[in-house]
Amino acid sequence: MEVKLIKQLAPELALYHYNDIPVLALKHAVGTAKISLQGAQLISWIPAHTEQDVVWLSEIEPFNKGEAIRGGIPICYPWFGKTGTPSHGYARLQLWQLVSYDIQADVVYLNFLLETENAESVAHIEMTFSEEFHLEFTNYCIEQEPQLALHTYFNVGDISQSEIQQLPTTTFNVLTQQQETVPPTRVVNEYVECIYPANERNVIVDTINQRTIEILHENASEIVMWNPWHNETSAMSEEGHNTMICIETARISERLAEKPVGLTIRVK
């Protein structure tokens, strides 16, 4: 991959090109972060008090313009899955604009806008970096009743030695196509694709990295848990599944309206 500095926007914020994809890099007292403008996709977040990245990014991600980036927080919008083409909607493949930023001593705000070719606003994202990370997604296409998933890939030391806690106890298992009763704590050591009714808070206990990731969902209707295990997945190595778990903040059955959907991530 070719990395080229395009512009220093502020002492703490620079714009690069990863091949042809514009990527913002934040280096601040709160931590470091990288955000691809293709998809307004967070691809790295290392809060100052942690050593490991909070989000997983495929080590073989090729950064090809117009192809979905495997990792971070892809924004699946305005549909989820293969109900349309491309898979998970067009928002993760298009360029978003950085419309404003506000860099303060203990917090950084970045605002992104997706527009149509006619400059009509489609959706807005605000990312807030402080001790925690917050993402707020606002939909402007109310009449189209879109779907959404903040499809977060969490980075763990070893998924089979991690616990996902505080999950709901019923889920739709996509693999069996059955509604199932499941324990609130799960250890993933095989292909998993489960659609849960949303709750407010889940926790990932990562034994290898000796840390806990708290995930707070706001105004979601579902939570999706996904790990493809050995199933062939684009831009993912044979070993990639060992260090990730997707916990997705989603609006699948209840379509999006005006009220924003939010995600907060805290690492302890």
CA 34 – CA 55 distance, rounded (Å): 11
Q: Does 77 bind ligand G6P (CB under 6 A)?
A: no
Listed ranges 4-12, 30-38, 81-89, 111-119: which one lies at the site for ligand G6P (CB under 6 A): 81-89
Q: Does 57 bind ligand G6P (CB under 6 A)?
A: no
Which is it for strands 211-218 and 170-173: parallel, antiparallel or unpaired?
A: unpaired
CA 152 – CA 134 distance, rounded (Å): 12
**Active site includes 151?**
yes
Residue 160 C-beta: closest distance to ligand G6P, Å:
19
Q: Does 224 bind ligand G6P (CB under 6 A)?
A: yes
Residue 225 C-beta: closest distance to ligand G6P, Å:
8
Give the per-residue contact string, 192-221, with ligand G6P (x = CB under 6 A; - = no): -x----------------------------
User: 39 or 47, CB closer to ligand G6P?
Assistant: 39
User: 18 or 226, CB closer to ligand G6P?
Assistant: 226
Catalytic residue among 61, 136, 222, 248: 248
Residue 28 C-beta: closest distance to ligand G6P, Å:
29
Which value, to the nearest 10 degrees, does the dihedral of the CA atoms of residues 249, 155, 186, 238 take? 110
Helix (H) or strand (E) holding 69: none
Q: Is 161 helix (H, G, I), strand (E, B) or coil?
A: helix
Residues 85-144 that bind ligand G6P (CB under 6 A): 87-88
Q: Which residue is nearest to ligand G6P (CB)?
A: 226
Q: Which two tokens stand for residue 125?
A: 């994202």
C-alpha 36 chain-centroid distance: 12
Interface residue with ligand G6P among 24, 68, 244, 267 (CB under 6 A) is 68
User: Order of strands, edge to edge, in the sheet holding 108-115?
Assistant: 97-103, 108-115, 121-129, 133-139, 261-267, 211-218, 201-206, 162-165
Listed ranges 11-19, 108-116, 131-139, 226-234: which one lies at the site for ligand G6P (CB under 6 A): 226-234
Ranges of beta strands (E only) in 130-258 are 133-139, 148-155, 162-165, 170-173, 178-181, 192-197, 201-206, 211-218, 222-227, 244-251
Tell me if the bond preceding 197 is cis, omega within 30° of 0: no
Count of residues touching ligand G6P (by CB under 6 A) = 10
User: 96 or 129, CB closer to ligand G6P?
Assistant: 96
CA 62 – CA 264 distance, rounded (Å): 28
User: 30 or 192, CB closer to ligand G6P?
Assistant: 192
Catalytic residue among 151, 217, 222, 241: 151
Listed ranges 51-59, 80-88, 110-118, 197-205: which one lies at the site for ligand G6P (CB under 6 A): 80-88
Interface residue with ligand G6P among 246, 252, 256, 261 (CB under 6 A) is 246
Which value, to the nearest 10 degrees, does the dihedral of the CA atoms of residues 202, 203, 204, 205 take? -160
Bridge partners for 28 per DSSP = 31
**Site for ligand G6P, rule CB under 6 A:** 68, 81, 87-88, 193, 224, 226, 233-234, 246
Q: Which residues are catalytic?
A: 151, 248
